[in-house]
A and B are shown apart, each in its own frame.
Chain A
Amino acid sequence: MRTNYIIMSLCLSLLAFSACHDELLNPVPESSLTNVNFYQSADDIDQAVLGIYGQLQLRKPTDYQLLEIGTDNLYMSTNTVIAGIPEVDGLTVSSSNPLVLTFWQNTYNGVFRANAVLANIDTPIDYPSGMKEQYVGEAKFMRALFYFDLVRVFGSVPLVTTPISAEEATNVGRTDAEAVYQLIIADLTEAVDLLPLKGAIASGRCNRETALGLLAKVYVTKNDWQAAKQTLDRFFTEFGSTFSLVENFGSLWQVATENNAEVLFAMKYTDGTNGHSLSTAFIPNAGVPNVVSRGAEIALPSWSLHKLFDEEDSRKTATIAEQYVPALSPSDDPIWYPYVSKYAITHTFNASGLDLPVLRYADIILLHAETLNELGQLNAALSELNKVRVRAFGNTTHNYTAREVAGQDEFTDVLLKERQLEFAFENERWFDLVRKEKFVQVLQSEERNYNPANGQAQVVPLQPAAYMQLFPIPQAEIDLVGSSVLSQNQGY
């Protein structure tokens, strides 16, 4: 009897003892792929390529916090304070600024996603014809775009071209900006060869024209005017007929007309389900009728920019709204409360479907104008510049004449102003001021809070210095690898 019990009991226990270890200790995730079983098929690679766009789509709507609020275009509202913005607004950015860190991390995440595609591109064997080349082209284009942002924001940066481990990363220092540009140029050059034309690839994916246009912009940024000219000439020769300036500037910022002949490439969004926060970010707290019922009011347009707009400039109303009525009481008398209206379409709170252009034909034209001016072709430059003026005013009466713009330097001033008006809140201003070496001169002060009743604006003094043209390397990143590996920019 006793023996039976022992046997029974042991069986009871041993039932569980055996066989179940592996089941209990090595389950496989049911709801998530892992780095072991991803990148196996062409479909995986397709999704991974879209993931690269996914990162830019995430970062782009907040780029203004670093690149516009610091300039004379935009200043912070106290309605919503985001950590790091007050420093940027006052040009007192420190290396611990969280926005700088986030920009670094997000952009390098984009680089990683591109590198991961390139590293695994040979694994699948089921690519439809030509798709492998397209994926490589897309990854290289996006990698170049991310590095172009990094090199302009930080200068020399670590150059990572393959997926690396955390251990490897602790030994990677900064690469000279020139070498970063070499990678950008090489990637874009290859992308031009590999990518389909805009008309032959799905919207939202990059294309051959954009790769070439961006290459021109890279050359302009490097002040390599000959290469810029050659690239732009090739652009106009090959794709000049594809693009034009849309007649109505405001139609660029409407969902119905966002696919048009002017935008070379844009980050695509869908209202509600895949939207961005930029349309909400500038709307006053109480919302705007037919736009959104509540705004985030993170930043407001500076008077420094606002006052530059000519009343007849169609870009003015498409960029800044002066009179304000709250969403919940649309019958109220409007009050003077200027806000950025460029992205103010009817949208779901923090989930706007308006596309955000990465490269517009107007930029190509103004880059061309800049290049021509730098090469001493002032008249040709003026002619290019005036194309943008004509579109803005609907006529030629506001065109600049050679008499008004006597020389190269004067043209540069006019060009900068035109770019400021044309690309207000599109994150070009900071880079323009740096490229044209006007950063310290222009940002001495910023006008805000204009009161039309007495004609007074609040003048906020700033203390710009040349070193601020490059943002600091995030201190948190330096701390992780040591300053002997990752050095800080001068001045910080």
Chain B
Amino acid sequence: MRTNQFILLIGIFSMLFATNLHAWAQGTQVVEGYVISATDKGPLLGVSVHATGTAVATKTNEQGYFSLQLTLPSVLRFSYLGYTTKELEVKEVGNPLRILLEKTFANLDEAVVVGYGAVKRSSLTAAVTKVENKGLDEIPTARPEVALQGKLAGVNISQTRNAPGSAPIIRIRGAGSISAGNDPLIVVDGFPGASFSNINMNDVASIEVLKDASSAAIYGSRAAGGVVIVTTKSGKQGKPVLSVNAFGGFSKAKLHNDWLNVNEYYDAITKYQNREYAWIGGDTSIPVWGDSNRPAGYQVSPAVLNGTDVNWQDAVMETAPFQNYDLAVNGGNDNINYYISGIVRDQQGTLRNTWYRTYGARASLNIKVNERVDLGLMLNPNYATSRIAPNNMIDYAKYPPFVAIQNPDGTYPTARSYWGAAVTSQANPMAILEGTNYRANTLNTIGNFYASVKLAEGLHIKSTIGTNMSYNITDRFQASWASSSSTSSGSAIDSRTISLINENTINYQKTFGADHDFGALGGASYQHNFSRSMTTLAVNGSFNNDIIQTLNNATINPVGTNTLKSEWGLVSYFGRVNYGFKNKYLFTASIRTDGSSRFGPDRKWGWFPSASAAWRISGERFMENLTVLSDLKLRASFGTTGNMNIGDFAYLGTIGGGIYTVNDQITNWQAQSTYGNSRLGWEKTRELDFGVDISLFNNRVTINADYYRKRTDGLLYAVSIPGITGFTSSLSNVGEVENKGFEIELNTKNLVGDFKWQTSFNVAANRNKVLSLGGVNERITTDGYGMSWLLRVGEPMFSYYGYKQTGVIQTAEQLTSVPVMAGSKLGNPIYDDLNGDGIINQNDRAVLGNFMPKATFGMTNSFSYRSFDLSFTIQASVGAKIYNFENQFYQGSVLGAMRQSLIADQWWSVDDPGDGLHPAVSLSQLSFNANSDYYIEDASFLAVRNINVGYNFPVAISRKIGSSKLRLFASINNALFLTKKEFHGYNPEGYTAGEVAGINSKPGYNIGSEPINRVYTFGVNLGF
């Protein structure tokens, strides 16, 4: 832990200095004593004891003991992280001193990790949120990010997919980039560009989020999405401490319960087929089966009523167990400290045949070579293996109920083995899940080595060499009987990415006089990233059997089989100065320049300055009488950050290749495939932030509020260029997007006696707006069935764009009297004729909402009474809209399973016209409904994300089993999940077409994201 190292370092150097002083000091006396905690009367280890005005200082040992050589009288200052600093005047030597330190409520002195260093919370000039790992490691999530849901204002963590191990999307203060990614930079123990996938929450000490650009700018180049700094635990001085965290439980998916049974299905599908037939002019009095006058595509097979009634959703979902074991040992002495840990995690998916397992280890070692030199090493290998579902949820849930799960002979019937070609051609869902073997394996190793040298008092130089090595293997096999086209298929992809980084910093901290705190940092960083991938593809259908699933059992397809290499490099220089006057007026300024290989020859370098200032009003004399106010600080900051998340050689016009058949032999061809743009440069985000930090009632109430405005310009995206060049787009720096909003975090200690109650509440709202698209006013991406995603100046990016339904065409008269879309029939919707010209065409489309939430809320309440504790976290999101296109699969298209809530009240015929608000929905009418607000649903939700109950056994009991700590806990994830009535999906945050990733993104588009799981956990924490 960087903070501890830092303190340790200072302590050690102080001791060194003190000893030196001793050698020549005259007339000194030995002062000794014990420092203990006022709360539990236990000894405090590592308390700084400093004689003010001198260089004499020491630290307490395990018994809380200290002794100093002093010239009396002297004032001793006792300071300890998380405790109120105490001063005591010593006039003469007597019995050993006994000093009680009080715990602070809100840690104004707590160290907050920022880029390349740490500062006291009270000295922060920027918007940084810190989450300490208090119980986060008891939340059973395969991905550590999920445990942070609802805990950070302005940090939206959404689980768009719920397959085991799938990574959530993290957005800090909205998305500003169209093509270059909006993910935050993850820095783990100083290694930038790491991933949460490698992190075991049990190893995490704290997580800091640098939200504003002034704090993030020190990571300039890749910080436009914000920076998340993860600090892992390191060894503490003392005997080895072993801790075991074991928990297990099970997950149950939150499912739909309004599926039609097979009899209801038969009635509904008959109405559906009759309506289809009537639309093409058919006579619906012709029997639905057995009369050749009715075309086969409009018949209903009596085989539907064969006695089978399968709810396919329930058939493929199961209660899934999981287990998790962490083991960690830490310890150390004056010269060395260590932390090692291991984790095994096994999580079954609630969807049959899906799972995710990880095996990880971490070792960190810090060695004090001598008074000046420190060395350290960290190694963190992590292996993850998973089996992935081949299809989206819709392909399983939509299967019609009359199909048996399995035949007695072990084969899997398909819908078409009951009913001819009118019904879905898809393979049996159970066959898909049993006969498809998609595996992903990742071995990811993060390691770093550092050396730190103290050059002079307060002046340190540090050099780090780090690496992130990632090996990924994806094996895919599908048996012919699991494939809808009855064709076996397979592929194997091996890839590796090796990233090397060297960072060198020089750090200077000094307090001049009593009032002037000065700090400076300079640094240089070099990063080189190599990647290589190898893809091998089987010719479809060429597997000799289903037993051997590797590609030696198939014919290799030369097209699509290849190896590829790529690389990028980044050179950075940075500096930061901070100055504080009387800890009242605080200034920080930083500058960073980055050179990236990804940009054109003259555009490689970008400058990323920042400045911030804070005024601690509470430190002013005129505030002294306001005892209610413990702390009041105003902050203002400005900073610039960058983004380079584009292809490695995107500025070059690269030559691509393909295959042509010459003389009946496949032959390679080549042609320039990208336009190239030698002027391609950095995408930059400029952000303003104004904040206030307030502490009231002796820090029992703290409020942190921020307003920000960030503008991302020079957007890296594939700008359209005239097609007559031979190209359609050129990656360019064009356009500007704004995000602005506010965040409030409120922390209160409601009860502080034996019964403790704390509340953390946060709220954030963000508004996204396109400011410029570089010459054009709008860009529209349209889906096959007509829904559009709009980029328009003045609107949030990627808003839904389509027609507004106002009713249903119920009479033939309406077809001529009301403006309708060309080709409309009875049962089709009436659209709002926005421009009033009497015809419905593309000029009548309107903005129909956006995938981004308007506001997010989070609240955590923690209670404790003696040895019991209880906490729960609530998260809410308001205003996001989802394009829930999956509904159409449950409305009878391809004659699949249907849901009552989705087919109710619609128009079936003139005699059965429904409620006049729900148009006819069917596959053939999709282009009338899918292009409107019909499938757009409010994705607001309120969730109790986690409830955790724990009991710490008294030491007397835990001793009996030889442990110093024994804690039992139980928790429920997603205990309650409330959505709007109009929302029909499994997961309001779930969408399948990804988020913003390029000009043709369709964020919010959902066809079958996985259900949310409720997870029940029981666990034990042991310490030895």
Contacts and interface: CB of A to CB of B under 8 A. Distances in A.
Given A24-B569, A326-B416, A458-B280, A274 B659 contact: yes
Contact of A285 (B425, B453, B526, B527): B425
A210 to B, nearest CB: 15
B699 to A, nearest CB: 41
B923 interface: yes
What are the 6 tightest A-B residue pairs by CB atom distance, in nearest-first order? A112-B726, A24-B569, A51-B671, A50-B669, A268-B661, A35-B653
A294 interface: yes
A327 interface: yes
B85 interface: no
Interface in A131-187: 158, 160, 163-166, 169-170, 172
A293 B571 CA distance: 54
Interface string A20-44: 1101111101111111101000001
Given A35-B652, A169-B725, 18 more contacts: A9-B463, A12-B504, A24-B527, A24-B597, A26-B597, A27-B648, A30-B566, A32-B656, A33-B655, A53-B669, A58-B658, A98-B782, A160-B724, A203-B662, A326-B425, A327-B486, A449-B280, A451-B295
B484 interface: yes
A140 to B, nearest CB: 16
Interface in B546-600: 557-559, 563-571, 595-597
A215 interface: no
B662 A205 contact: yes
Contacts of A335: 295-296, 420-421
A204 B655 CA distance: 22
A204 B664 CA distance: 8
B926 A78 contact: yes
B721 interface: yes
A108 B726 contact: yes
A451 to B, nearest CB: 6
Contact of B649 (A32, A458, A479): A32
**B contacts with A: majority SS:** mixed
Interface in B292-328: 292-297
Interface in A55-78: 55, 57-58, 78
Contacts of A476: 720
A427 B570 CA distance: 52
A274 B660 contact: yes
Contacts of A200: none
A328 B483 CA distance: 12
Contacts of A284: 421
A477 B722 contact: yes
A202 B670 contact: no
B420 A329 contact: yes
A164 B725 contact: yes
A51 B569 contact: no
B487 A51 contact: no
B726 A163 contact: yes
A81 B416 contact: no
Nearest to B558: A273
A36 B570 CA distance: 23
B822 interface: yes
B455 A54 contact: no
A317 B1014 CA distance: 58
Nearest to A117: B671
17 contacts: A9-B461, A13-B461, A21-B571, A25-B597, A27-B569, A29-B648, A35-B654, A47-B670, A109-B727, A112-B672, A268-B664, A273-B557, A286-B421, A287-B485, A294-B486, A335-B295, A337-B296
A44 B649 CA distance: 21
B776 A272 contact: no
Contact of B722 (A13, A38, A170, A273): A170
Contacts of A332: 420
Interface string A206-227: 0000000000000000000000
A47 B668 contact: yes
A481 interface: yes
A369 to B, nearest CB: 32
Interface string B889-911: 00000000000000000000000
A123 to B, nearest CB: 14
Given A20-B526, A53-B660, A112-B725, A81 B927 contact: yes
B666 interface: yes
B675 interface: yes
A55 B660 CA distance: 10
A27 B782 contact: no
Contact of B528 (A24, A78, A163, A269): A24
B654 A51 contact: no
A111 B726 contact: yes
A51 B662 CA distance: 12
A380 interface: no
B540 interface: yes
B453 A8 contact: yes
Given A20-B526, A48-B669, A337-B296, A272 B722 contact: no
Contacts of A79: 923
Q: Which label, helix, strand, loop or mixed, suits the secondary structure of the A interface?
A: mixed
Contacts of A31: 563-566
A52 to B, nearest CB: 8
A479 B773 CA distance: 13
Interface string B417-440: 100110001000000000000000
A285 B421 contact: yes
Nearest to A270: B661
B444 to A, nearest CB: 23
Interface string A92-125: 1010101001001100110111011000000000
B723 A286 contact: no
Interface string A192-205: 00000000001111
A6 B455 contact: yes
Contacts of A115: 726
B281 interface: yes
Given A284-B421, A454-B293, A349 B540 contact: yes
Contacts of B130: none
Nearest to A325: B421
B660 A113 contact: no
B26 interface: no
A465 B565 CA distance: 54
Contacts of B372: 5
A249 interface: no
Nearest to A203: B663
A274 B666 contact: yes
Contact of A337 (B421, B669, B926): B421
Given A169-B721, A268-B662, A5 B453 contact: yes
Interface string B492-532: 00000000001010000000000000000000101110000
A386 interface: no
Contacts of B296: 335-337
Contact of B524 (A13, A47, A158, A273): A13
A249 B421 CA distance: 30
B783 interface: yes
Contacts of B559: 273-274
A406 interface: no
For B421, B657, B722, the residue with the greatest tally of chain A CB atoms inside 10 Å of its CB is: B722
Nearest to A82: B784
Contact of B463 (A13, A160, A273, A327): A13
B373 interface: yes
A452 B785 CA distance: 31
Contacts of A96: 780, 842
B676 interface: yes
A36 B526 CA distance: 28
A172 B726 CA distance: 13
In this complex, the member of A9, A96, A328 whose beta carbon has the largest number of chain B beta carbons within 10 angstroms is A9
A456 interface: yes
A328 B565 contact: no
Contact of A458 (B281, B297, B721): B281
Contacts of A402: none
Contact of B670 (A51, A90, A98, A454): A51
